[in-house]
Structure 1
Amino acid sequence: MVLGDRLATRWRALRFLAVEAVAAVVSLCMLMAGLVVAALLVLIVGWLAVPPYLRVLRWWAGRARLRAGRFTGRPVPERYPPIPDDPGFADVFRLLAAPATRRDASWVAIHGVAALVIGVIAIGLPLGMINSFAIPFYWRALPPDEPVSNIYPVTSWWGAAGMPLVGVGFAILAWWGIPALARGIAGLAGTLLAPGRETELSERVSALTVSRAAALDAHAAELRRIERDLHDGAQNRLVAVVMMLGLAERSLRVAPDQALPQLLRAQDAAAEALSELRTLVHDIYPPVLDELGLGGAVSALAGRSSVPCVLDVDGPRRAPAAVEAAAYFVVAEALTNVAKHSGAEQVRVTLSTCDDDRGGTLVIDVRDDGVGGAIASSGSGLSGIGRRVAAFEGKMTLDSPLGGPTRLEVELPCGF
């Protein structure tokens, strides 16, 4: 690293520490306000003050995360339990006992003191260096009874002559100390404000519990759909086939010339029942996924869409079969909703795969130029998509203002 880069690094560290020193004053104010709120908890007004104070505290801690992340180049994650709009006593108590609140309170207390002291030291080192080098030039101008105060009082030429050496000492301390102090303050934010391992495990358990419940709901809904399709479709047709065959048997005994038309009708009904059974099996797991992959299967859906569909397949990698099946049904249901409710003239479907900390995510983006106003109400196709996505710990985002356009984005973890 050249000298210019090293100077730029130290100047950046000095600016960071100066900003943190100013921010430490705000942290001390936040600490004082927190102590006042804590003292008022014996009264109702204290409990009423907790939610707004925590909102401000979270915002201030978030600013510290941003500053530390920009300085180190490593973002500091944040995880907070939501603050209800109208919290009750139990909600406030839960917020006060949350690990995130303890982390923020600890950071405010330590940052308010440590960052202020370290910031003053960091600013004082270069100023002390400049002053030490300048003392030999101005100490004579001061009154004899007011010696220059630095590391030691300067009252003679011999004392002034040693000041440049003191300045070199200040320069060495500033050169090596300021970056280390800046890393320490940034590391303080990363250590205190980042969620702990136990928090991540707790959130993971909660996410797994939710996804398991969603998977069970999706499974139950799928079984109900299959039962309904069998009862209303193939089962009724098979019953009709049995009745037609019974009539044909009776006709063979009484009027053989009438048996052939009845057998033909029974054959047609049996063929229709077989076709419905094939469709039902196809809907459980489309064979086209194995034959053509997700891109080809979705292309077939787009080709059958009654609304003109533009398909953009940005090279999605093969995902586990269950994930591809979920993605296929998401697109199928989304296109069905567009055709039934949107009044759109065109729909665009985009499939892509992005790498992330979950090992890869399949992203499905469906946009139409319809009337908008879509909501994921209970029993709707969108709520079914939500259940299916939640079963894979995925994410569904729906943006559908009145007047359109509508955008549905689904993220499905692939676990590559």
Structure 2
Amino acid sequence: MPRTDTVGHPHAAGSARPGRGPALRRYVRRRVRMSVDAIERLVGGLGTSILALAAGLLLLVVALACLVGVGLAMIPSSAKAVRSAANRERARLSRSEHDLPPPPAVPAGLRGVLRDPWVRREAAFVAAHGTVGFGLGVIGLSLPISAVQNLLFPLYYWVLPPEAGGPGFVNWRIDGLPDALVVALMGIGWLAATVALGPALARLQALPGRRLLAPPRDVDMSLRIAELTATRAAALDAHAVELRRIERSLHDGAQNRLVAVTVLLGAARRAMVRDPARAVEILDRAHTSAELALAELRTVVRSILPPVLDDRGLAAALDGLAAGCGVPCTVQVDVPGRCAVSVEATAYFVVAEALTNVARHSGAATAAVAVHRSADRLHVSVVDDGRGGADEGSGSGIGGIRRRVEAHDGRFTLTSPPGGPTTLLVELPCGL
């Protein structure tokens, strides 16, 4: 049969265009999500910068008091105030970036405080974050506020006197709706500036904390070694648990079926001479048991690594899990390209175990799975509207999820207040 070449065909160009639409929508969603996340981080950074500014002013007052000899006794207490402000920033950065563990307690006595390298780094931090971080937070929040004010100005301009002008830098006379619409167009510019500059401002605001509040290299290395030792032990435990699960599945399922096939075949062989009709019936039962054993083996193989995950990717595999869930479940996946096989497999089994718990224990009416990639991290969330009160120690499989995630050097967070909802969040490193 002759080969048909679609190059230059009038429908070929049109068939390539629909792919641009979803890609553009994914890009817009990603930029909007990044902007909203940046605004959230700028708000949190502005709060910690106010604390840092207060701590910095306290240090300045203590330094001035030391010039007249009355501030030396205040240095330990001021160091504790600086440590408190720095720890708030550590906690904020640890929620969105790499963990910044808090240092030991502030040493007792003036000499111990002055020799502590942590105190010196934190003093530099409050000076930088209380000034530059505060300014960046104000600028970052003024962009979306200005965008909202300008975009909504045509709705309320008529209540203001014309000579009052508009919001922000709009100080000319507003004589009617056309002038108000010009102000609204300026709001679109402010919105574009928010989307373009917000993430960069958030990164700059967090820079002093990442540089100055991180532990020194030797301390960081020892903490990392301890963390890797713990995750290695968790990986070995998870591997042992998985082997026991596979062994139990084979022993309780396929092995019993194969034993039944063997017994039935022996009975059929003995009945061939005495009662051929009975032998045919026994062979039919053996055939059924063999088919069940094959089905059990396929189930075990799929539980090791589902073929759909390798063939069609994470989105299709999660759609299959949602379709088989006993609770109506929506799936939203925004992962450009493919992640490492181990990362996708971990995400798949996390969602599979979580949906199993939802169907068995939560009493939920709906569930939602969301997966998206942000830089070098894969974020997975499973939310249900059930009764809540999920407990890791109750044998519901949550401990296994945690071990699997920690074995991959990821983060696991479970929020399940009584009455619900239950939110399971997982963050996995997936490279760049």
What is residue 246 of structure 1 aligned with on the other side?
266
Aligned residues: 289
What is residue 104 of structure 1 aligned with on the other side?
118
Deviation at 1:407? Answer: 0.5
Flag the 1:17–1:392 CA change in 2: closer, same or farther, 3 A: closer
Quick check: 1:218–1:384 contact (8 Å CA) kept in 2? yes
| Cα distance in structure 2, aligned partners of 1:290 and 1:273 | 24
| Cα distance in structure 1, aligned partners of 2:346 and 2:98 | 33
Quick check: 2:83–2:119 contact (8 Å CA) kept in 1? no
Q: How does 1:13-412 map to 2 (within 5 A)?
A: 20=56, 22-26=58-62, 32=73, 58-62=83-87, 78-80=100-102, 102-106=116-120, 193-355=213-375, 360-377=376-393, 379-412=395-428
Deviation at 1:32? Answer: 3.3
Quick check: 1:107–1:189 contact (8 Å CA) kept in 2? no
Quick check: 2:332–2:369 contact (8 Å CA) kept in 1? yes
1:261-303 Cα offsets, whole Å, 9 max, x none, are: 0000000001000100011001001000111100111011111
Quick check: 1:31–1:108 contact (8 Å CA) kept in 2? no
Question: Which residue identity is paired with 1:403?
Answer: G
Q: Secondary structure at the match of 2:257?
A: helix
Aligned alpha-carbon RMSD (Å): 3.9
Quick check: 1:24–1:111 contact (8 Å CA) kept in 2? no
| Cα distance in structure 1, aligned partners of 2:285 and 2:71 | 83
Q: Secondary structure at the match of 1:377?
A: helix
Relative to the length of structure 1, the TM-score reads 0.61
| Cα distance in structure 2, aligned partners of 1:373 and 1:392 | 26
Flag the 1:251–1:402 CA change in 2: closer, same or farther, 3 A: same
Question: Which residue identity is paired with 2:258?
Answer: L
Q: Could you say which structure has the larger radius of gyration?
A: 1
1:13-69 Cα offsets, whole Å, 9 max, x none, are: xxx999845433357799736769xxxxxxxxxxxxxxxx99756204447989xx9
| Cα distance in structure 2, aligned partners of 1:65 and 1:257 | 79
Deviation at 1:207? Answer: 1.8
| Cα distance in structure 2, aligned partners of 1:18 and 1:269 | 75
Quick check: 2:331–2:369 contact (8 Å CA) kept in 1? yes
Which deviates the most, 399-408 or 303-312? 303-312
Deviation at 1:208? Answer: 1.2
| Cα distance in structure 2, aligned partners of 1:323 and 1:201 | 25
| Cα distance in structure 2, aligned partners of 1:361 and 1:64 | 21
Question: Which residue identity is paired with 2:73?
Answer: M
Deviation at 1:240? Answer: 0.8
| Cα distance in structure 1, aligned partners of 2:336 and 2:416 | 26
Question: Which residue identity is paired with 1:58?
Answer: R
Q: Which runs of 5+ in 2 are unaligned?
A: 1-51, 129-206
Flag the 1:190–1:386 CA change in 2: closer, same or farther, 3 A: closer
| Cα distance in structure 2, aligned partners of 1:34 and 1:387 | 44
Flag the 1:386–1:78 CA change in 2: closer, same or farther, 3 A: closer
| Cα distance in structure 1, aligned partners of 2:306 and 2:352 | 11
| Cα distance in structure 2, aligned partners of 1:76 and 1:266 | 57
Percent identity (aligned): 49
Q: Secondary structure at the match of 1:266?
A: helix
Quick check: 1:103–1:192 contact (8 Å CA) kept in 2? no
What is residue 11 of structure 2 aligned with on the other side?
none
Deviation at 1:105? Answer: 3.8
Deviation at 1:110? Answer: 9.3
| Cα distance in structure 1, aligned partners of 2:336 and 2:72 | 50
Question: Which residue identity is paired with 1:410?
Answer: V
Quick check: 2:90–2:101 contact (8 Å CA) kept in 1? no
What is residue 8 of structure 2 aligned with on the other side?
none
Quick check: 1:61–1:104 contact (8 Å CA) kept in 2? no
| Cα distance in structure 1, aligned partners of 2:386 and 2:256 | 37
Flag the 1:333–1:31 CA change in 2: closer, same or farther, 3 A: farther
Q: Secondary structure at the match of 2:313?
A: helix
| Cα distance in structure 1, aligned partners of 2:309 and 2:217 | 39
Question: Which residue identity is paired with 2:116?
Answer: R
Flag the 1:414–1:258 CA change in 2: closer, same or farther, 3 A: same
| Cα distance in structure 2, aligned partners of 1:76 and 1:264 | 61
